[in-house]
Amino acid sequence: MQDLYLNWIDGAWAEGGAGRMTVENPGTGQALAEQALADAADVDRAVTAARRVHESGVLTALRPVERGRMVRAMGAWLLDHHEDLARLLTLEQGKALWEARNEIRNAARYFEYYGNQAETLEGRQIPLGAGYMDFTVLEPYGVSAQIIPWNFPMEIAARSIAAGIATGNACVVKTSEMTPLTSHAFGLAAKAAGLPPGAVNVLTGWGHEAGAALASHPGVNQIVFTGSVGTGSAIAQAAARNIVPCVLELGGKSAAIVHADADLDAFLGDVRRGIFMNAGQICSAMSRIVVHRAVHDDLVERIAGLARSIDVGPGIDRDAPLKGMGAMASGPQLDRALALTARAEAEGARLVTGGRRLNIPGHFMDPTVLAGVDPASEIGQTEVFGPVVSVMAFEDEAEAIAIANGTDYGLVAGVFTRDLDRATRAAGRLRAGQVFVNEWFAGGVETPFGGYGKSGYGREKGREALWNYVQTKNVAIRLR
């Protein structure tokens, strides 16, 4: 680990015009390292470098298989440095070390997947009758601006960089100021893979300065953002002024419907991954459990027992998969989760377990279970982004669907039942971009991901994500 981390602009490390900031270790509350902060001028330099790469045609002139090999090589570099990156990620973000290792592997997998997809994108021939030849060509937008959150800084950046480069775009990545350190790896990986200077640029800066400058820059052709609804709305407005398309992934308040015939023992494993992994700081977290009244009390006690069994403390010391839970990413994030929990209890929800700050250095919250939650209450509607699960009872299938669909979000949902007909009916009626049946987080990098409603628009992951990075050109030829 270094004492100072810089920005990666046009193939070289660079200081930032906005000075430096101290990055905190949320597992101890102590300073970890310094990070150079980019300002609007640094953003302009990065966009200019990316624009030069695009306009030179150096990426699009390659055969797609050659571009794909470079993308795959970036993933291979991450795997070669897997352990060091995982430890750094744990120290700056707070998650358990076993989770950080998984994140680095998943980041590498995106580069593998999209590297393999690079040569599969093809246009089509359109018959217009005798005397005409008509066909379509898929072309990159040019400069892809990618604004990355702090909860999965490596994995989320990887999925957009890999798709962007595979389709021939040059990328300017703005990391979160809370978790900037590990992201320096993408500059090193791009250089090792032989990508030209300026093809991948990685900046850290304040959202109101560097983020706003990037979202509104006239040299940007496409924007990918993951984060809050408020910030996503501001980015969409800035992009609209330049008529620039966006992909927005803005979180959720996702529900798992548990029927009386569900395998409750297996479901506990889904709860462990769905809400207590990464201290609940997951856009697609299982933040609501909507359970049939016949098994409600039994399941609440099982979930409470699971929550009490989780070993909470500094992530760097928690290496056993599915056992320990690390810190929340910051003090304000912890304070917000605690406040939402306290207000829920005051409004009538029953605090079954947790709901408190651990009395140790760092930003730790006990895994928390709330029962008797009113679906229309603040806790029933608001994304906590913490290790807090709300349990709600239902009587029949229609009520369960209504509760699950009863928020402004629509990112993911789940159905747990042995009845395939019931699960299929629910999948068709749930208002969510992805529906899990009998396993939360089923799928992988191959499956499209994105939301309905205020969870955003556009898709990431899977082949569907590639269409966000290309535009269709039609060529019509009159034959003589």
Nearest to 220 by CA among 164, 147, 141: 141
Q: Are residues 245 and 259 in the same domain?
A: no
Q: Are residues 232 and 303 in the same domain?
A: no
- Rounded CA-CA distance 17/60 in Å is 32
pLDDT over 90 (residue 335):
yes
> At what angle are helices 397-404 and 420-429 packed, to 10 degrees?
40
Specify the residue for token string 């609804």.
229
Q: What is the pLDDT of residues 24-52, one digit of tens each?
A: 999 999 999 999 999 999 999 999 999 99
Nearest to 43 by CA among 164, 208, 246, 192: 208
288: containing domain: 255-408+412-445
Task: List residues bridging with 350 in a β-sheet.
Answer: 371
Q: Are residues 268 and 246 in the same domain?
A: no
What confidence score (pLDDT) does residue 238 get?
A: 96
What confidence score (pLDDT) does residue 397 get?
A: 96
| HEC per residue, 123-146 | CCECCCCCCEEEEEEEEECCEEEE
Does the active-site annotation cover 249?
Answer: yes
CB 318 within 8 A of CB 324: yes
What confidence score (pLDDT) does residue 52 get?
A: 98
Q: Are residues 260 and 371 in the same domain?
A: yes
Does the active-site annotation cover 83?
Answer: no
Q: Are residues 145 and 216 in the same domain?
A: yes
Q: What is the mean pLDDT of the chain?
A: 97
pLDDT over 90 (residue 376):
yes
Q: Are residues 212 and 332 in the same domain?
A: no
What confidence score (pLDDT) does residue 156 get?
A: 98
pLDDT over 90 (residue 149):
yes
pLDDT over 90 (residue 480):
no
The answer to the question of residue 450 being in a domain is no
Of 283, 383, 397, 460, the catalytic one is 283
Number of domains in the chain: 2
- What is the rounded average pLDDT of the residues 162-177? 98
Neighbours of 154 (CB within 10 A): 28
- Residue type at position 169: N
What confidence score (pLDDT) does residue 210 get?
A: 97
Q: For residue 269, what are the CA distances in angstroms to 253, 263, 272, 478?
A: 19, 11, 5, 62
The answer to the question of residue 157 being in a domain is yes
Q: Are residues 202 and 302 in the same domain?
A: no
Nearest to 165 by CA among 201, 124, 136: 201
Of 99, 155, 249, 383, the catalytic one is 249
- What is the rounded average pLDDT of the residues 88-104? 98
Nearest to 228 by CA among 457, 455, 431: 455
Q: How confident is the model at residue 115 (pLDDT cuts 50, 70, 90)?
A: very high
CB 449 within 8 A of CB 427: no
**Residue 177 DSSP one-character state:** T
Q: What tokens does 128 get? A: 């217009």
Q: How confident is the model at residue 1 (pLDDT cuts 50, 70, 90)?
A: confident
Local structure of 456: helix, strand or coil:
strand
pLDDT over 90 (residue 388):
yes
The answer to the question of residue 185 being in a domain is yes
pLDDT over 90 (residue 221):
yes
Q: Are residues 194 and 269 in the same domain?
A: no
Neighbours of 380 (CB within 10 A): 22
Percent of the chain with pLDDT strictly greater than 90? 99
Q: Are residues 91 and 144 in the same domain?
A: yes
Q: Are residues 14 and 155 in the same domain?
A: yes
The answer to the question of residue 374 being in a domain is yes
How far, rounded to the nearest angstrom, does the alpha carbon of residue 373 sit from its chain's CA centroid?
Answer: 27
The answer to the question of residue 336 being in a domain is yes
- What is the rounded average pLDDT of the residues 321-328? 94
Q: What is the CATH number of the domain that holds 288?
A: 3.40.309.10
Q: What is the CATH number of the domain that holds 52?
A: 3.40.605.10
Percent of the chain with pLDDT strictly greater than 70? 100
What confidence score (pLDDT) does residue 365 get?
A: 98
Helices of type H across 347-452: 378-381, 397-404, 420-429
Q: Are residues 144 and 288 in the same domain?
A: no
Q: How confident is the model at residue 412 (pLDDT cuts 50, 70, 90)?
A: very high
Q: Are residues 64 and 39 in the same domain?
A: yes
